[in-house]
Amino acid sequence: MSVNIAIVDDEEMIQWTLKESMESEGYNVKTFENGRNFLSFFKEHGADIVFLDVRLPDSNGLDLLPEINRIDPETIVVVMTAHGDVETAVSAMKLGAYDYLAKPYNIEEVNLLIKKIIQTNLVKSQLQHYQERLESHFSQILGENYSIKILREHIAMAAKTDHTTVLIRGESGTGKELVARQIHFQSGRADKPFIDVNAAAVSGTLLESELFGHEKGAFTDAQKQKKGLFELANGGTLFLDEIGDLDASLQVKLLRVLQERKFRRVGGTSDIHVDVRIISATNANLEQKMQEGSLRKDLFYRLNVFTINLPPLRERRDDVVLLAKSFLNEYRKEFSKEHITGFSEDALKLMQAYDYPGNVRELRNIIERAVLLETTNLIRPASLPDELKNNMNSVEFKNIKTADSETVNTKNDIGVKENNNSNDLLSPFGDDKPWHKPGFNFKDYIDSVEKHVVEEVLKETGGKKTKAAEILGLTRFALRHQLKKHGMVVD
């Protein structure tokens, strides 16, 4: 790594000694005997680190500090002072100096200081780069649906206060971690750590050590002291996913952190105070878990201060195309398939008709797979998974082609008869039109038809789900989704 250092001091011996030592470490070094020559060079070429003597022939080093900061605020300035001149050192730090050296100093001390500066700035640069990547990746929650506009407003509200505990609720795949990161990066804690942990992915004993750390000898494998995630997230945000699956013993410790902002490591005897914002998420029914006794009521009320509800993708179908195009743009670049410019009309119809039990995550995976498979300039039905093609419950899809010569089978679509009588297709209800009845609700009606058809087919097959799925033109996975959706038995 090339580091440019400027030494501003009128003593030739100091210039020579520092220059020799620094160049032996591989740094690029320039020396100056007065402030005028240094500033002239600095304005033109800059420097990463400046070692600046306070007493110069033509100026006071402290007077140069504001000018250096004005020209390049990123430059690190180390002020060199006479031994014991504490007042000057303090003044220099107030004016923006990174550190000071009291003469006479040890060369090893100087080298250690340079390495510290380089390391600090490297970490800072890496952190900034990582944060910029995260902010770029999570900068937008895409969607024009009304529910998404409300979601964005709630995120902004939650971010305004960086202490309020937030509970994010939504089905799997709706983007709960995405929302948590948004809240963090829009809050006053944005420059501090964001640490996430899945409460369901780690067993109770291990999770306790992960969250709260442990002291040396706390248990058999505790060979040394370990800081927990609460300590590592100090000043920032800790995101606890699947909070409904948290072990009962850990619920007590978490409640204490929420109430008192302190905890003890496993095997520890002293309290550790932390300033951490807790954002939790779940796809479980927490109210039901409280009734069952697996979730403490006092913990629930502590977590449920500000609740954000994420809508499933099937309730915001108008956003499917917008999301799909965004994912397409991402993956065509990643897989070097810039020739893929969009979707065929039939592919878009298939994607808009699907329920997405896996929500946005499932849509993302579908697009990733499609980009990998597609060989033309448009994503076609042939590159989409069978779940979408088997989900066509509307006449308008009967002529969609999955490949150049392959037509999708739609004979099992609801309301479509084998003889393809056009009058039956247009008016299968006769005079008994349900929408003319009081209280008609389209979604409820469709749900009831779906449930009725699935029940009848299961009766016909004697409860054999594989056979029922075959008759319905569904995969077993899609049939399981239907059963779950309508509150029917899922084995």
Mean pLDDT by 10 residues, the chain (491 residues): 85 91 90 92 89 89 89 89 74 86 85 85 58 51 88 93 93 93 91 89 80 84 83 92 90 91 89 93 94 94 95 93 93 90 93 93 95 93 89 51 42 35 41 67 73 84 80 72 74 59
Length of the chain: 491
Choose among 79, 49, 46: nearest CA to 62. 79
Q: Which two tokens stand for residue 89?
A: 């050192």
- pLDDT for 237 equals 94
Residue intervals in the chain for CATH 1.10.10.60: 431-485
- pLDDT for 374 equals 92
The residue type of 124 is K
Contacts of range 17-21, beta carbons closer than 8 Å, 24 or more positions apart: 17/107, 18/51, 18/107, 18/110, 21/107, 21/110, 21/111
- Pair 400, 353: CB distance under 8 Å: no
Helix (H, G, I), strand (E, B) or coil at 483: helix
Choose among 370, 336, 330, 335: nearest CA to 350. 370
- Pair 440, 434: CB distance under 8 Å: yes
Choose among 173, 171, 177, 170: nearest CA to 309. 170
* CA dist., res. 409 & res. 454, Å (int): 19
* CA dist., res. 360 & res. 370, Å (int): 15
Phi, psi of 471 (to 5 degrees): -65, -40
- pLDDT for 419 equals 38
- 347's enclosing H/E stretch is helix 345-353
| DSSP state letter for 388 | H
CATH architecture of 139-311: 3-Layer(aba) Sandwich (3.40)
- Pair 151, 310: CB distance under 8 Å: yes
Q: Which two tokens stand for residue 389?
A: 């093609």
Phi, psi of 436 (to 5 degrees): -85, -10
Helix (H, G, I), strand (E, B) or coil at 199: coil
* Residue keyed to tokens 């100087």: 110
- CA separation, residue 293 to residues 143, 172, 198, 246, 453 (Å): 38, 23, 21, 12, 37
- pLDDT for 408 equals 42
Torsion angle (degrees, nearest 10) of CA 397, 399, 405, 411: 80
Burial of 13 (0-12, 13-18, 19+ CB in 10 A): exposed
Fold that domain 431-485 belongs to in CATH: Arc Repressor Mutant, subunit A (1.10.10)
| DSSP state letter for 99 | E
Choose among 179, 430, 160, 154: nearest CA to 281. 179
- Pair 343, 377: CB distance under 8 Å: no
* CA dist., res. 141 & res. 175, Å (int): 9
Domain 4-129 in CATH 3.40.50.2300? yes
- Pair 357, 315: CB distance under 8 Å: no
The residue type of 163 is H
Helical ranges in 33-145 per DSSP H: 35-45, 61-71, 86-94, 107-137
Phi, psi of 482 (to 5 degrees): -65, -45
Helical ranges in 399-475 per DSSP H: 422-426, 442-460, 465-472
- Pair 258, 303: CB distance under 8 Å: yes
Torsion angle (degrees, nearest 10) of CA 360, 363, 364, 368: 170
Residue intervals in the chain for CATH 3.40.50.2300: 4-129
Please list the residues that pair with 196 across neighbouring strands. 239
Close Cβ partners of 181 (under 8 Å, ≥ 6 residues apart)? 134, 138, 194, 239
Fold that domain 314-423 belongs to in CATH: Helicase, Ruva Protein; domain 3 (1.10.8)
Chain center to CA of 218: 33
Give, in degrees to the nearest 5, the angle at Cα 149 between 148 and 154.
Answer: 90
